[in-house]
Amino acid sequence: MIPTQAFRPHRDDVLLAVLSVLAGLLLWSLGIYSTNNRHFFPAWAALVPLFVLGPMELLRRTAPNTTLAVGTVGVIADQFTVGNLGTVLIFTDLMYAAVVYGKPAMARRLPVTTGLVTIAVTIASVAWLRTPQALMIGVITGIVSFGPALTGATLRNHREAAEAARLRAEQTALLAEMDRSQAVVAERARMARELHDMVANHLSAIAIHSTAALSIGSPATSREALGVIRENSVQGLAEMRRLIGLLRDAGAEQEAVATPCLDGLDALLAQARVNGAASGLDFVLLDDRPPGEPLPAPVELAAYRIVQESLTNTLKHAAPGTVRVRVTRADGLLTVRVESPYGDRPGPRAPGSGAGLVGMRERTDLLGGEFSAGRTGAVWLVRADLPAEERVVAG
């Protein structure tokens, strides 16, 4: 059954059908026949295959199997009349359309089949007629059947290759867009971690000491708190300016110089002592790393930020006591441990959002390390094991 859309032929097919039939009528009226040496039927009988094959052009795109079958029967029937060149030309187009618009299996079979038919007709003609002119029968058969099938197969292959290339280009563009989106998300997450780790420490100290200054009536205490607030404000502003400079792509050299490292832990703990003195906190650094063994820059930055954020959380939540920061390197791992007193805390507190623990875990996971944080007895322990060796990718 022919589908509904088959009754809406392409306008080019309509034009082709009309011109083919008109051309065949003109040749017949002029007495130009393709097989005028045969007289099985009267001359007008040559118009029957022509009128049958002409409408097949309307279905060449939508029903190529049907049109080829009808065309084959029609062109064979035409050989028993005086013959019409228009019928033969229509058949060649139907053969071409069957390869171009037919199913892939047909497109693969027809060139092979018509090629074998051409060879078989040539051999049979030579064996039967035993004249050199018999070769022309094979040549004509090849022109009428094998030539259009081969041309159609070539065109179809080019179209399929172009479509495959287009799909590959679309997939490549889609993958590139996905990579770009993931890169943007990753960069935003990195910026968020940097911003949180750099500024949260200073803002937490400002919040705690401003609360103390407002709640304690002693002028000396208020003056001391205001001094801590001013120092943290200045340092926080400097950190913000550094981050803004990095975001403006000031250059790789400047970024490398500005990147914190573990050599700055002494200064970091010194600042923490100032910020935590009013809360009864003391800070001790135990750096057990072997001297002269450099660390990969991302690992050193991550370790510094983990210590910094741990000190920020200690300033917000820890009970009075001693906070111990230990950094060790062994068996290819850099281990960072921050132990802070766990319990009820007097005095003002800074609010926490939980983003600090998330950021520390993300930094550790990005480097392929292990992170843990939780209560152990009367101590809150933060631990991060980071790979301390450069990773070499085999080529």
162-174 pLDDT, tens per residue? 998 998 888 888 8
Average pLDDT over residues 259-279: 82
Shared domain for 267 and 161, answered yes or no, is no
DSSP run (H or E) holding 395: none
Is 289 within the bounds of a domain? Answer: yes
Do 269 and 152 lie in one domain? The reply is: no
In this prediction, residue 1 carries a pLDDT of 46
Rounded Cα distance, 254 and 288, in Å: 29
Asked whether residue 168 falls in the same domain as residue 292, the answer is no
Residue that terminates a domain, selected from 172, 202, 232:
172
Range of the domain at 391: 262-395
Domain co-membership, 123 together with 16: yes
Q: Answer yes or no: is 255 within a domain.
A: no
Q: What is the pLDDT of residue 155?
A: 92
Residue 353 has pLDDT above 70, yes or no: no
Please say if the pLDDT value at position 269 is more than 80: yes
The pLDDT score that the predictor gives to residue 255 is 45
> b/e per residue, 101-135, with b = 16+ CB within 10 A?
bbeeebbeebbeebeebbeebbeebbeeeeeeebe
Phi, then psi, of 85 in degrees rounded to 5? -65, -30
Do 135 and 267 sit in the same domain of this protein? no
- Give the residue, 240 or 26, on which the prediction is more confident: 26
* 160 in the same domain as 14: yes
Provide the pLDDT confidence category of residue 148 given band limits of 50, 70 and 90: very high
Quick check: helix, strand or coil at residue 143?
helix
Q: Mean pLDDT, to the nearest integer, of 22-48?
A: 82
Average pLDDT value for residue range 149-173:
90
Please indicate, yes or no, whether residues 155 and 271 belong to a single structural domain of this protein. Answer: no
Given a cut of 70, whether residue 262 has pLDDT beyond it is yes
**Alpha-carbon distances of 164 from 160, 175, 301, rounded to whole Å:** 6, 16, 46
pLDDT at 26: 92
Contact, 246 vs 237, CB < 8 A? no
* Residue 389 shares a structural domain with residue 267: yes
The pLDDT of residue 347 is 55
Amino acid occupying residue 190:
R
Task: Find the farthest-apart pair of alpha carbons in the chain and give their distance in angstroms, rounded.
Answer: 130
| Dist CA 371 CA 360 (whole Å) | 8
Average pLDDT, the chain: 81
- Inform me whether the pLDDT recorded for 338 exceeds 90: yes
233 contacts 209 by C-beta, under 8 angstroms: no
Average pLDDT over residues 2-13: 67
pLDDT at 45: 87
pLDDT higher than 90, residue 96? yes
Q: Which residues of 340-355 are buried (b: 16+ CB within 10 A; e: fewer)?
A: bbbeebeebebeeeee
Assess whether pLDDT exceeds 80 at residue 117: yes
CA distance 131 to 75: 25
Domain boundary among 115, 145, 172: 172
- Note the pLDDT of residue 320: 87
Q: State which of 140, 156, 172 marks the end of a domain.
A: 172
For residue 20, is it within any domain? Answer: yes
pLDDT above 70 for 110? yes
> Does 247 reside within a domain?
no
| CA distances, 109 to each of 52, 145, 387 (Å) | 25, 13, 61
**Given a cut of 70, is residue 16 above it in pLDDT?**
yes
Binned at pLDDT 50, 70 and 90, residue 332 comes out as confident
Can you give the CATH number for the domain in which 290 is found? 3.30.565.10
Q: Is residue 336 part of a domain?
A: yes
The pLDDT of residue 386: 92
**What is the Cα–Cα distance from 301 to 304, expressed in whole angstroms?**
5
Whether residue 28 lies inside any domain: the answer is yes
Q: pLDDT-derived band of residue 394, with 50, 70 and 90 as boundaries?
A: very low
pLDDT tens per residue, range 177-235: 877 877 777 777 777 766 666 666 666 667 666 766 666 666 766 666 677 676 667 66
Count of CB atoms within 10 A of residue 312's CB?
24
For 348-394, give the DSSP string.
Answer: ------SHHHHHHHHHHHHTT-EEEEEEETTEEEEEEEEE-SPPPPP
Sheet holding 379-387, edge to edge: 281-287, 321-330, 333-341, 379-387, 370-376
Confidence (pLDDT) at 395: 37
- What's the confidence (pLDDT) of residue 390? 63
d(CA 53, CA 76): 12
Which of 193, 167, 181 lies closest to 361, judged by CA? 193
Of 33-37, 272-276, 348-352, the range with the lowest mean pLDDT is 348-352
Residue 88 domain-assigned (yes or no): yes
Sign of CA dihedral 36, 38, 44, 45: negative
Residue 44 counted as domain residue: yes
pLDDT beyond 90 at 381 = yes
Domain count, the chain: 2
Percent of the chain with pLDDT over 90: 23
